[in-house]
A and B are shown apart, each in its own frame.
Chain A
């Protein structure tokens, strides 16, 4: 355990290097804190039911249930079966996306040109990390993008712009059922989601009532 972990009451702490994936089971009631250690770093995330991974996070159900287009404090993360999987219980950034999906080699090639096809991408991370849980590309759904700033204008204009998260900003997600929480620390260098410069993030897990 690191000093930082002993200094807090986290039961788990880990620094996720730039561009790398991570996953861990969160028991009901536990809180995952995702810390944007250096600021302006997009964190792509997916949730699956630990008991039945066919139950997974649903971006459209989450947005429809809250009636608005962005994720923030109080957002209930809804599954494809209509259940609340987790809840955003703290948020020092204030702006998170769940409509822009994750980057992939294939979409990068369409967006930015064929020369960007052979760059590491979130979907590569998700495929590798999900394989540890018996899941595949087929199981990748529209994900959360913590700390990612994607304003949607009334005209429909949809743009990834510079993130507003400062170093140390964090978001807390408290599990309401047992979940597998999967992260890709976004490697994108072609748009402002990471300030064009991917950096490490930190995750900490707290037991109920320890936050």
Chain B
């Protein structure tokens, strides 16, 4: 039997949930910034810290200090880029795709959204994004997925992340599910994953601003659902730069009550 007091709490909690849902799936999406133009958001030359090209099949690691950003460019329009990341000061804190989509009420991560850690804090904010076609559900390639797709085991994100983690002093236990940029995966009404190739364009880029000191691992391997044969491949350009300090009305910090709380918890790390 559910007591009257319990029933009252249940009703109050349901009401709060429905209000949060209405805000999260109606008001918040309308307030998000428009996608970045592919010829927009130039980086001031003196803000650039380092530029790097990751060839197809390869990976790299990047350390960002709070306030620095990383631009990831799909030069050819054929690449997808897998990303995992950790808090530099305590690598048991790492990106959490499930919380990222659940908290923001959407799997469609785009400009104005954030990537959360498992501790309710923001690792990186998506401050620029021309694409809006990213995958947090189906993940990166593996030895098995490349064998099934191409008839032979090729370089893949699973192995790349093991190597990248090792070079940061981490191992397989530290590897969380990944975010995959430039990977237009959606879920159809029947529950099947759908790949929409038309949503990929040469020169698409996404800019991630570190909200805490962070270590990132990135892998440039075709998404396992990308139907291109042979495997889609192209160079990926990375530009690490000093991002402008966020303004009071910074779109990522103010996108939703959830984002505002996640930033408040993140800022406490600096206190």
Listed in ascending order, the chain A residues whose CB lies under 8 Å from chain B are: 54, 58-61, 63-65, 67-70, 80, 82, 99-102, 104, 106-107, 109-114, 123, 136-142, 152-160, 189-192, 195-197
Contacts and interface: CB of A to CB of B under 8 A. Distances in A.
Contacts of A99: 97-98, 101, 107, 137
A61 B213 CA distance: 29
A142 B189 CA distance: 23
A156 B106 contact: yes
A37 to B, nearest CB: 15
Contacts of B188: 154
B150 interface: no
B92 A190 contact: no
Contacts of B105: 157-159
Nearest to B140: A60
A153 B172 contact: no
A107 B142 CA distance: 29
Contact of A63 (B106, B138, B173): B138
A163 to B, nearest CB: 13
Interface in B89-119: 92, 96-99, 101-103, 105-108, 116, 118-119
Given A64-B224, A138-B173, A152-B107, A158 B101 contact: yes
A96 to B, nearest CB: 12
Nearest to A102: B98
B142 A61 contact: yes
A158 B172 contact: no
Nearest to B141: A64
A54 B172 contact: yes
Main secondary structure of the interface of B (DSSP, over half): mixed
B13 A196 contact: yes
Contact of A107 (B6, B21, B102, B174): B102
A156 B142 CA distance: 25
A141 B23 CA distance: 29
Given A107-B120, A154-B189, A189-B13, 5 more contacts: A60-B178, A63-B139, A109-B265, A113-B261, A156-B107
A60 B139 contact: yes
Contacts of B6: 197
A163 B154 CA distance: 41
B262 A190 contact: no
Given A60-B178, A196-B10, A197-B10, A70 B191 contact: yes
Contacts of A80: 158, 172, 175
A68 B173 contact: no
Contacts of A101: 96-99, 102
The 8 closest A-B pairs by CB, nearest first: A101-B98, A60-B139, A156-B108, A106-B120, A82-B144, A196-B10, A152-B187, A156-B107
Nearest to B171: A54
A69 B138 CA distance: 8
A110 B261 contact: yes
B154 to A, nearest CB: 14
Contacts of B143: 82
A106 B192 CA distance: 31
Contacts of A190: 13, 16-17
A196 B9 CA distance: 9
15 contacts: A59-B177, A68-B192, A82-B158, A99-B107, A99-B137, A100-B101, A101-B99, A106-B121, A107-B116, A110-B261, A110-B265, A157-B25, A157-B105, A159-B21, A196-B17
A153 to B, nearest CB: 7
Contact of A64 (B98, B145, B176): B145
A41 B188 CA distance: 26
A58 B189 CA distance: 24
A159 B25 contact: yes
A58 B138 CA distance: 10
